[in-house]
Amino acid sequence: MNTIKKGILAITLLISQICLAQVSDDLMLYRQDFKNISGTNTVSITSYEKDGSHYVFAGGIGNVNVYSLDKQGILTPISNHELHMKKGPSRGMVADNINGTDFLFIANKHGNVIETFKILDNGSLERVALVEDTDKTHLGTAITLQVVHMKTSSYLFVGGLEETPGLSSFKIENDGKLTHVQSMKDDETIHTDGIIGMFVHKIKGKTFLYTGGFQDNGVSSFRVYENGTFKNINNISDNTTDRYLTGAYPVTGVTLGDNNYVIVGHRHHKYYKRGGFIKRPDFVYHGDGVSVFKVNKKGALIPHSVLKDDENTKLQGQTRIEVVSTDNNEAVLAVGTRDDESIQLLKLNKEGILSPINYLETGYSIYYGLRSHKIGEDNFLIAGSFRNDLRKIVSYKLGPKINRDGKVLRHFVNLTYKEDATQEQVNNAVEAFVNLKNEIPEIANLEWGLNDSTEGHTKGLTHCFTLTFNNEHAREVYLFHKAHLGMVEKIIPIIADVLVLDYWTKE
């Protein structure tokens, strides 16, 4: 390669790196759609591409809902399926292909079973196998599943939260049935008491599994062998200085260049109010943060860096960390939070240092239910909540942040009531709507009025409510706020038609 060509190549690479950095630093989430679920709540979410179609599985208490997801991020309900004994909630859901057949594996938390469903051609499910807990398998209160593909076989690793916790490995047969391989009982050394997050790295032909221990406050690494057996490599516990592992919760990882990283979040025990739920109540709260570990050649975890929560981030009560996108230079991560009720976007650079990008206040607490999914060149996040009053699944698309400086959002709700609605019912409905201003501080202004147009283009709509929000966060909080949802449920029986329009304008 001559000097000119080398120079052109160097400039091209530099420009591409600059553009990538600019795009990732300005990413933002934009809600695309939301749909109702048939069950009580949405605790876990996973997704899968099958024959060019994209599917989302939302699991809650007692059942699983199936949706299709299109390239605009629109969710379309397909089916819903009952869990074993109508228990649950569905936890640790993972979809994968085993020797040509697509399966969805579900940890039925309070059913104390692992369920295997075959994913049919239209995305709906058919149960094909069920494995119940025993004294040796540690499936009681099962929470997390991880598929590990080896050269000749695939294995399902299972972790949970119970009185006799541990880590188990099952061989996945071609028909979806599970054959027990090995179980390792938790002890005072390894961190497998309450495995809520797992991740797998493949490094130079060797397979390593990483677990977070929610109850015993730390992370552990394991070597996985071709026959599905495994052994512990090293363990790292929480401290009160530079680690944030009290209530270790989500675990994920990325490879950037020659570096392998494991990223661990936590929902600190201080956020749990139930007496007796936390086994070690003598913890010390020293803040919230996301911990990054580097993996050495032997697969062991080495503490590397921490991003501490501050007034510019939303990291309190982390329950899910999803890898949105990655290349050789950086990875974009999404952190779902239960206590901050937000999705925080982060960037991990090649050196293993995290930095915040942007966040979106969702208006609902995320409890494990967050999934990254890519269609073509577009990245989506699908989220849900364990809130029983919400009963929704929401899709977001990632895109460049739009400059809203000096602008506010107008939210118009135009509606008409049914002919048989009494005047008292209408008055009560109007009063309930107007009262939202007193219950949702994020509403900057609210006014309403009766239609006074005589042009004949009102489509029968009679009442107009105009709400003003100062930013995207406020609209999201309003939309999924308990007061708003309660008001809608109260007045919907007398609503005949409704039209909603939003637009941004200068203050």
Q: Where are the beta strands (DSSP E) in 90-151?
A: 90-98, 101-108, 113-119, 125-132, 142-149
Q: Return the pLDDT at 507.
A: 82
Q: Which of residues 364, 399, 434 is at a domain's end? A: 399
- The 3-class secondary structure across 378-395, one letter per residue, is EEEEEEECCCCCCCEEEE
Clarify whether residues 128 and 244 are in a common domain: yes
Clarify whether residues 391 and 411 are in a common domain: no
**CATH number of the domain that residue 148 is part of:** 2.130.10.10
Q: Which of 145-149, 173-177, 279-283 has the lowest average pLDDT? A: 279-283
Residue whose C-alpha is closest to residue 338's, from 367, 314, 370: 367
Q: Return the pLDDT at 18.
A: 40
Clarify whether residues 424 and 374 are in a common domain: no
CA angle 301, 317, 379 (to 5 degrees): 75
pLDDT at position 283 over 80: yes
Clarify whether residues 382 and 276 are in a common domain: yes
pLDDT tens digits, 324-367: 999 989 999 999 999 999 999 999 999 999 999 999 999 999 99
Determine, yes or no, domain membership for 82. Answer: yes
Clarify whether residues 371 and 422 are in a common domain: no
Using the structure block, give the residue that is written with the tokens 């695939």. 154
pLDDT at position 59 over 50: yes
**CATH number of the domain that residue 419 is part of:** 3.30.70.100
Amino acid at 430: V
Q: Return the pLDDT at 25.
A: 84
CA angle 113, 389, 419 (to 5 degrees): 135
Q: Which of residues 347, 380, 399 is at a domain's end? A: 399
Clarify whether residues 430 and 390 are in a common domain: no
pLDDT at position 395 over 60: yes
Clarify whether residues 90 and 182 are in a common domain: yes
Percent of the chain clearing pLDDT 70 (strictly above):
95
Structural domain count of the chain? 2
Clarify whether residues 393 and 455 are in a common domain: no
Give the pLDDT band of residue 23 (cuts 50, 70, 90): low
Q: Return the pLDDT at 275.
A: 83
Determine, yes or no, domain membership for 56. Answer: yes
Determine, yes or no, domain membership for 338. Answer: yes
CA distances from 46 to 67, 82, 322, 354 (A): 11, 17, 11, 25
Task: Give the CA dihedral 365, 367, 369, 372, nearest 10 degrees.
Answer: 80
d(CA 498, CA 395): 22
Task: Please list, in sequence order, all residues whose beta carbon lies within 8 angstroms of the beta carbon of residue 369, skipping any fewer than 6 positions away.
Answer: 42, 43, 44, 45, 58, 320, 336, 383, 384, 385, 386
DSSP strand pairing (206-213 vs 230-237): unpaired
Clarify whether residues 430 and 482 are in a common domain: yes
Determine, yes or no, domain membership for 382. Answer: yes
Q: Which of residues 381, 399, 417 is at a domain's end? A: 399
* Residue 15, helix vs strand vs coil: helix
pLDDT tens digits, 104-161: 999 999 999 999 999 999 999 999 999 999 888 888 899 999 999 999 999 999 998 8
Strand partners, 314: none
**HSE, side-chain direction, 13 A CA sphere, residue 310:** 6
Q: Which of 20-34, 318-332, 465-479 has the lowest average pLDDT? A: 20-34
- Structural domain of 483: 407-506
The answer to whether 68 touches 76, Cβ cutoff 8 Å, is yes
The answer to whether 294 touches 300, Cβ cutoff 8 Å, is no
Clarify whether residues 310 and 447 are in a common domain: no
Clarify whether residues 95 and 227 are in a common domain: yes
Determine, yes or no, domain membership for 11. Answer: no
Determine, yes or no, domain membership for 31. Answer: yes
Clarify whether residues 358 and 423 are in a common domain: no
Strand partners, 397: 30, 380
Radius of gyration (C-alpha) of the chain in whole angstroms: 24
pLDDT tens digits, 213-246: 999 999 999 999 999 999 999 999 999 888 999 9
User: Across all residues in the chain, what is the average pLDDT?
Assistant: 94
Determine, yes or no, domain membership for 48. Answer: yes
Determine, yes or no, domain membership for 20. Answer: no
pLDDT at position 13 over 60: no
C-alpha torsion sign, points 232, 238, 241, 242? positive
